[in-house]
Chain A
Amino acid sequence: MNYQPTIGLEVHAQLLSKSKLFCAASTRFGEEPNANVHPLCMAMPGTLPKLNAAVVDMAIRTGLALQCTINLESRWDRKHYFYPDLPSGFQVTQNELPICEHGTLSVSTTEGERPIRIRRIHMEEDAGKLMHDPQSAESLVDLNRAGIPLLEIVSAPDIHTAEEAAAYLRSLRDILVYIGVSDGNLEEGSFRSDANVSIAPKGSTTLGTRVEIKNINSFRFVQKAIEYEIARQVSVLENGGKLVQETRLWDAEKGETRSMRSKENAQDYRYFPEPNLPPLRIEASQVEALKKTLPELPKEKYRRYIESLGLPAYDAAVLTAERELAEYFEGCLTHYADAKKLSNWVMGELLRMSKEEEIAFSALRFSKEQFARLLQAVDAGKISLNAAKEVFAHMFRTGEEPERIIEAKGLAQVSDVGAIEAAIAAVLEAHASETEKYRAGKKQVFGFLVGQVMKAMKGKGNPALVNQLLRNRLDN
């Protein structure tokens, strides 16, 4: 039988706020265990939550970037479970009425582009971390992460392939990073995803039994885990089995999902309204003001690069992959108008060297004007492309003016017609037999002769001019 998989994704993105969601403790990563704690996030009695307003702004901006409705009134709820990573025994979240609802994210795959609906976005607190020490048989609790603000972004079950799921997550991550609300760092756990996967016979109007997969922390694993899970579900049904509603854990090492708990053992979270926080009310004017702070999003940029700048899709994709790179590119474009030539340089020399030298675009030693002047020197025939690359490398390391480097290294091209013609004359005289061969129709010799002229000019002859003048001389 043919099955149609249906996938919904829940993403937990850690927000880039300096302090936690409800207390003043720092959110810095990599501190000593339990260094970033405050009585509230340690759940000392007598403590009360105080909402971090910066987080609300980030949630609204995310909602706007994902075309959500922003709820001007949303609420806080407590979600309960007993585990040492949750010191108060409840997580403060937005269950009943989230801050953002009904958004969309357009996702491109090899099959084309499709909108995926976003069901809701809400704010909540992260839990702490347990460390199991195999030496002592004790478990240690680190509460640095407890109370760090998260956005949970829940898609509708609109995704049908593992590839599409991975593309959705990449797009979503790009947007969060672009608008500056999350660092999207998968290794540090600031972008985590769970997937709900079910299959149903093609054409069926009802969905199959839903299985939740947890612990998928890379884009590659998402795709693999979902592919594995779809195949597993198909095989269960094909073999006459029945699927159970359950939560499964992705085991990256074994490349499989395995059962964690079934629906019967599902937790009862005992949600109820958080009595210590009033409903969150937002002014429409605040939403309007935040709208103005949103940058052009990666998709829009990508489209504009192709349509208005005339760049190939590949270039547009590379240049818009990161906001910093796109902004650097656009900054250079104000000094140098040929987008394609600039794109070649940025994607080529600039990206290569900044990666090699591990320098961020914001920390480059040379200005965008300097970069533009170098490119203009090539266009004007002042230096060859190869020489320009040498100049660029030097400018990258030292920040010196390109003109000075050209002069100091003696890289200026000779475009003086008289000088080139003199060199040509000397070469033709020294290589009379090759000249004869060319004129007799052996056109391949031309390249040799060009090489000789360039050699005579110590490589500084303007190659286009050398070609043109030599051909004139030989053909007439």
Chain B
Amino acid sequence: MNIHELSMLELATKLADKSLTSVEATQACLERISETEPKLNAFIYVDAQGALEAAAASDKRRSRGEALGPLDGLPMALKDNIFVAGLKTTCASRMLQNFVAPMDAAVVQQLRQAGMVLLGKLNMDEMAMGSSSTSGVFGAVHNPYALERSAGGSSGGSAAAVGARVLWAALGSDSGGSIRQPASFCNVVGLKPSFGRISRRGVVAYASSMDQVGPMARKVKDIAALLTLLAQPDEEDVLCNPRPGGDYTQGLEQGMGGMRVGLWRESLEGADKEVAACIGEAAKACERLGAQVEELSLPLSRMAPLAYALISAAEASSNLARFDGIRYGHAGTQAPNLHALYFNSRGEGFGKTVKKKLTLGTFVLSSGHYEAFFVKAAKLRTLLCEEIKQAFKKVDLLLSPVASTPAFPLEFNPTPAQSAALDTHTVLANLVGLPALSLPYGFSAQGLPIGIQLMGKAFEEAALLRCAHALEEDKPSFQRAPLL
């Protein structure tokens, strides 16, 4: 048995029947990290000692019959914008390179309560802004299926580590596609839950109205188990659903018979042939599995990336104003006065992508431009919500590519237009707050993973996961291992 080939729940079964211990699993992870990290650069920090101690504690609980749940002892790691008390949370930014989290994020509390072992923090695009995981201060993440290519972003470290069989599961965050696109690039299942399904407490904010944490793993079942853990109310996040999501692993096998699947027509415009072929294949599979498939047009969706660009930049410019070098974070060098302190702290602390985003955000909120840009984007968002609402009267699920292409080369330096095109299909779910999942669904001729996106109704993750599971069972593409 190769422990790394197991899925998360398969490993959980081995831990439960004591054929494997948490310490063994954690050791295996640490060994695999030392093999792969020189090539992947997926981790920002590995807490080997903390993880081994937590694993030993878990084994002790199990031996006493006091396991905290089915996931007790499972090693996992988190994108480095999620707080673990006492560990640095850097957001891959020079600004926060020495910032120690003052508390656990809500999701970390939930993982700890389930006994999970926290192995470390994963690499990403700086401040979660980007689609390539190349902008961070710790360097680019490499794709485990093609090292010279991007792992996607911004949760590139999470996707690469799971895709490379280093981890069984990881947490990412998704404000415009940051879980789904890297999942698609690295042959991983990634879920962006409905806005408000998982607490945002203790996660460094980027675009507050769209930020969601979500699980990444190799199988839909693993995602369902993790979501069951994470979809809890949190009084401290007033936008978090006050009702728990329930057990998403229940009813997963019920198939997609009778489901109405809408093939989102505009999402195929400009898609690679191989990507389009995957979608066609998925549509056929849906029909084979008893669903009705119809093509559906969402004309306004073409403008979604514009609305996303303006709203996310505006919110980011506001959320990141707190990084002034005064109370924490990078303090500007040679600052003889307050203005210089602001200027140097932010000038030195932030990289180019972040600065561009903040400049744009400041611009669209400034007087004289607010009405022309921000207000229009907000109106467009309202119209998009309406369009999607109408669409979901006709269908239960929307099918589309995650990205128009498989992973692009690391040196790819997109123009602003190309850059916006990278999230064309993913931002819609964030703008309207719907759950969306990236499911591995094939490989390009070059051996690059291709994912499909399934978008569901708000807070109906159960149906979304059920359909994804049926498609996955029908075509288990995740089994193709990386070359690494």
Contacts and interface: CB of A to CB of B under 8 A. Distances in A.
B239 A276 contact: yes
Given A39-B103, A50-B238, A84 B321 contact: no
Contacts of B269: none
B342 A82 contact: yes
A430 B205 CA distance: 101
Contacts of B237: 48
Contacts of B209: 275
Contact of B366 (A48, A268, A276): A268
B314 A272 contact: yes
A273 B238 CA distance: 16
A327 B128 CA distance: 60
A242 B324 CA distance: 39
Interface in B378-397: 378
Given A45-B204, A46-B101, A46-B204, A82 B324 contact: yes
A383 B200 CA distance: 75
A90 interface: yes
B238 A46 contact: no
Given A89-B321, A272-B365, A46 B314 contact: no
Contact of B103 (A43, A46, A88, A278): A46
Interface residues of B, number: 41
A51 interface: yes
Interface in B281-327: 314-315, 317-318, 321-322, 324, 326-327
Contact of B201 (A42, A48, A87, A90): A48
Given A48-B201, A82-B342, A276-B208, A88 B322 contact: yes
A46 B362 contact: no
Contacts of B338: 84, 139
A80 B83 CA distance: 26
Nearest to B237: A48
Nearest to A266: B367
A277 interface: yes
A46 B370 contact: no
Interface residues of A, number: 30
Residue from B201, B318, B374 whose CB has the most chain A CB atoms within 10 Å: B318
Q: DSSP class of B's interface residues: helix, strand, loop or mixed?
A: loop
A44 interface: yes
Nearest to A44: B102
B326 A275 contact: no
A39 B209 CA distance: 21
Contacts of B332: none
A325 interface: no
B360 interface: no
Interface string B165-203: 000000000000000000000000000000000001111
Residue from B201, B314, B322 whose CB has the most chain A CB atoms within 10 Å: B322
Interface string A74-88: 000010101010011
Contacts, number: 86
Contacts of A339: none
B105 interface: yes
A141 B338 CA distance: 13
A113 to B, nearest CB: 40
A39 B89 CA distance: 15
A269 to B, nearest CB: 8
Contacts of A139: 338
A254 interface: no
Contacts of B342: 82
B35 interface: no
A355 interface: no
A90 B200 contact: no
A87 B314 CA distance: 18
A68 B73 CA distance: 59
Interface in B350-380: 362, 365-367, 370, 374, 378
A49 B235 CA distance: 10
A90 to B, nearest CB: 6
Given A46-B103, A275-B209, A89 B366 contact: no
Given A43-B327, A84-B338, A270-B362, A48 B322 contact: no
Contacts of B89: 45-46
Contacts of A44: 102, 328
Interface in B199-229: 200-205, 207-209
Interface in B82-107: 83, 89, 96, 99, 101-103, 105
11 contacts: A39-B102, A45-B96, A45-B322, A46-B204, A50-B235, A80-B321, A80-B365, A84-B324, A87-B326, A275-B315, A276-B239
Interface of A: 39, 42-51, 78, 80, 82, 84, 87-90, 139, 141, 268, 270-273, 275-278
Nearest first, the 4 closest Cβ-Cβ pairs linking A and B are A89-B321, A270-B365, A275-B209, A275-B208
Given A78-B318, A90-B321, A141-B326, 5 more contacts: A47-B201, A50-B235, A89-B321, A270-B367, A276-B239
